[in-house]
Chain A
Amino acid sequence: MKRRSLLLSGLGVGGALLVGWGLMPPRSRLGSAGLWLPAEGEVALNGWIKVARDGAIVLAMNRSEMGQGVHTALAMLAAEELDVPLPRVRLQQAGHDAIFGSAESFVGFLPFHADAREPGQETGAFRAARWVTLKLARELGISITGGSASVADAWEPLRLAAATARARLLGVASLRWRLPVAELEVRDGIVSHASGPRAHYGELVEQATLSPPGDVILKPRSATRVIGRPAQRIDVPDKCNGRALYGLDVRLPDLLYASIVHAPMIGGSPGAVDVSAALQSPGVERVVRLPPLAGADAALAVVARTTWHAREGARALRVQWRAPPGGPLDSKRIEASLEGAARKAAEERGGFTFHSRGDSAAAMTDAARKVEALYRAPYLAHATMEPMNCTARIHADRRVEVWVPTQVPGLARDAAARVAGVKPDAVTVHVTYLGGGFGRRLEVDFVAQAVRVAQETGGRPVQLAWSREEDFMHDFYRPAGAALLRAGFDARGRLQAFEAHSAGDALEPRWMERVLPALTGPIDPPDKTTVEGLYDLPYAIEHQRIAHVATTSGVPIGNWRSVGHSHNAFFSESFIDELAFAALKDPLKFRLELLADKPRHAAVLQLAAQKAGWSQALPKGRARGVALHESFGTICAQVIEVSAADKQLRVLRVVTALDCGTVVHPQGVAQQVESSVVMGLSAALYGRIDIEGGVVKQQNFPQAPLLTLAQTPAIETHTVPSAMPPTGMGEPALPPVAPALANALFALTGQRLRELPLQLSLT
């Protein structure tokens, strides 16, 4: 059995093979001090923590900062257990050891219904699959900043690593002063005893490597001083003065700049190329022909003295582009075929069934009243503000160095090694700040391209930079999708059945082929992302069938912030609103009635409603909509208020309530909500990628508008107090935006918009 199938299907479990492996316990995830390269003036206490002679803490940072505030949140965990102020924690990029790998992101792939995952009430099958997946993920040691999993992943091992380091330091003080550990106190990194002795960590660390930590106990919530309190983000000062280093800001001696040119048509390739004019363009050094690499189409790269000279050279290329072998793509045709596939699946009860309970066929036949609707979502681009780029250098001894804004440093290393024909440990990856990620930087196409170009520059480093147009035209888009949703009420008006038949490309198998080719097999396992947000609704509906038809459209598709949830929540939560209307019930009350056995969901929904003033009437010309959605372990409810005065739609206010477990960094949570709301509104109001004659029509921001400051509503964030471990925050506030907005527009105008982006007709 291929590892991928195990990882992604989970239920395969493959018992015998895995029996006795044992989940790597948190203690063995501390790693040894030997994982660090020796550094003057610093002593490593385990794989995560070093102490400097001045008492500062150095934390191995295994996650990429792309705006989500993860550097700060993880540093807070270390500061908490070590009892140091946050500014005393310095970050150093972690290496590639398995202890730094992702585990919770992979658990997120498991196709389990939310009921099976409910914290504290997990089913045996889920617990077993989770165990296997965590074990496998830790074996693989793949570090991913994604799946909103960074804080959840670090929660135990990082705190334990910090607490263990603290225990060793206290042990040294105890021996030195001949005082019991229990009587020592630590404040701001200074260990002291009431009788007088004091020392900061730097004065104790020399002997600490020899001091056994003894029993290490994590702080109880009542004793925390950092977690859940306000904290200044570590990355903010440098992001206000131009010093923050992004991928495109890497400057090295002798640096060359390269501009990439793909075929205008997706899947196209360069045929005959006349490079003479390009080579005569001032500052141009050479033109490199690139084969298809890590999912990127074949392309040409122009290498020059500056980015501008490279672009001027690229404009001078004369290329006969070849169309893709399957002919040019057309998104209208694909979207129509998805709609057809969803309808056909509904008719024939086809597709892969991800969730089924009761007898939905019979319940639908017996229903006294039926509601049916078709929902659609388009392709969508990531459009990170910093376009794709990577800087690469191949040294004379074949060692490879890359500087790259990436969400997957280990996979970037593997991709660089494959292209350069060296072992992964001959590659050094320097992770810069990311000017946005949103899933686009889970790809390694630009890394492979940069290394390929660097093979032609005689040892000089080269920065490969995509233009905004290349970035829009050669993205790995959120897949388009269509879903036919049906529901049946009984004679007493109770919702009895819910069926969803959807169609769209499976994306994770395609992503695996690009970034983890060694783990891909001949058959796609069922991709849970196709139905997440449709098959795992919290509502008590007795008869359900949720099935998906996985298609292969040929359009390059990838992970877009919140992945399947981003459009499936629009489908499911808009449809639930339709059902409330059909049942002549208030949409909030209708949902709450279906959440009688889901107290956490009900609490979140009620908090949002209360803060938004749901029960209070609005002035004429205004309306509210509500949506509830769980993703990445976090439950999120939103109430959106809109107006349409003077034929002008305005989103006035977005109130968000969350249950995301323990809040580590409150301001970080609020920022992620603001970010998700703004990005969600851009997607709901404008987001679409059209492909005509094989070419993406939206090639730059003028054709692909984003929400502006002037259009941004008031955004409020409220969290439900929780003592549970932290759950995802980078994505969960995005999925409910589109349905809450669509539901508000319905309340305002009576128009039920079932296609993204929402196109209201205001006459």
Chain B
Amino acid sequence: MDLSINGQTRAVDDAQVDPRMPLLWVLRDVLQMTGTKYGCGVAACGACTVHVDGAATRSCVTPLSSLQRKAIRTIEGLAGATGPHPLQQAWIEHQVPQCGYCQSGMLMAAAALLEANREPSDADIDAAMTNLCRCGTYPRIRAAIKAAARQMAPRRPPAAPRP
């Protein structure tokens, strides 16, 4: 079957996979896109978070069969054509990662949050960022999300020209 990943069509050989196979393993072991991580296999830790049609989705429990005609976006596609995503810049600015293993999932969860909500409150961040980090990068993640949100906030429309 064909998958749409990061704006590209990727053919997956049906003989190599199984409709029940979670997207995580298709990405990592079939397509060799290893930026998306395995952490728990039960949708608890969020290390495997990707976007499916824009929504943060835990790919370790998302079967291949559910992804027909869906747009998948992974950490490899988070940066745009013009450069890193504002969240990636903020992550560097705030020196967020430690071991870094959970950060792909964290970034994808944060990106989905900012797509839906350009001015997230602390409570919004609390509710959206349920991924687990063992190194304790949470305070920096919160700060970096806020910084990226400021960066991404739509500029005020220019004042209407006077008649």
Residue positions of A touching B, CB distance < 8 A: 66-69, 232-233, 235-246, 248-249, 251, 257, 282-283, 305-308, 383-387, 433-438, 465, 467-469, 667, 671, 674-679, 700-702, 706-710, 712, 714-715
Contacts and interface: CB of A to CB of B under 8 A. Distances in A.
B40 A468 contact: yes
Given A385-B102, A700-B44, 10 more contacts: A240-B88, A241-B76, A257-B29, A385-B47, A465-B38, A674-B136, A674-B137, A675-B135, A709-B126, A712-B136
A239 B103 contact: yes
B8 interface: no
Given A435-B100, A679-B136, A251 B34 contact: yes
Interface in B128-151: 129-142
Contacts of B126: 709-710
B99 interface: yes
Contacts of A708: 129-130, 132, 138
Interface in B69-108: 74-76, 78-79, 84, 88, 91-92, 95-104, 107
Contact of A307 (B29, B37, B76, B103): B29
B132 to A, nearest CB: 5
B100 A244 contact: yes
B18 A386 contact: no
Contact of A237 (B34, B92, B138): B92
SS of B interface (majority): loop
26 contacts: A235-B100, A236-B91, A238-B100, A240-B107, A241-B78, A305-B29, A307-B29, A384-B99, A385-B133, A435-B101, A436-B99, A436-B135, A437-B99, A468-B39, A469-B41, A676-B136, A679-B135, A700-B41, A700-B42, A702-B42, A702-B44, A708-B129, A709-B125, A709-B126, A709-B130, A709-B138
SS of A interface (majority): loop
B117 to A, nearest CB: 16
B138 to A, nearest CB: 4
Nearest to B102: A385
Contact of A242 (B29, B96, B99, B104): B104
A678 B33 CA distance: 30
A706 B142 contact: no
B68 interface: no
A383 B100 contact: no
Interface of B: 16, 18, 21-22, 25, 28-30, 32-42, 44-45, 47, 74-76, 78-79, 84, 88, 91-92, 95-104, 107, 125-127, 129-142
Contacts of B92: 232, 236-237, 240
Contact of B28 (A69, A307, A383): A307
A282 B13 CA distance: 14
Given A308-B25, A708-B132, A709-B141, A468 B37 contact: no
Given A306-B30, A308-B25, A678 B138 contact: yes
Q: Which of B22, B98, B139 has the most CB of A within 10 A?
A: B98
B98 A709 contact: no
B97 A241 contact: no
A760 B131 CA distance: 26
B108 to A, nearest CB: 10
A468 B41 contact: yes
Nearest to B100: A239
A236 B34 contact: no
Given A240-B88, A701-B44, A710-B126, A232 B95 contact: yes
A249 B84 CA distance: 22
A67 B88 contact: no
Contact of A241 (B75, B95, B98): B75
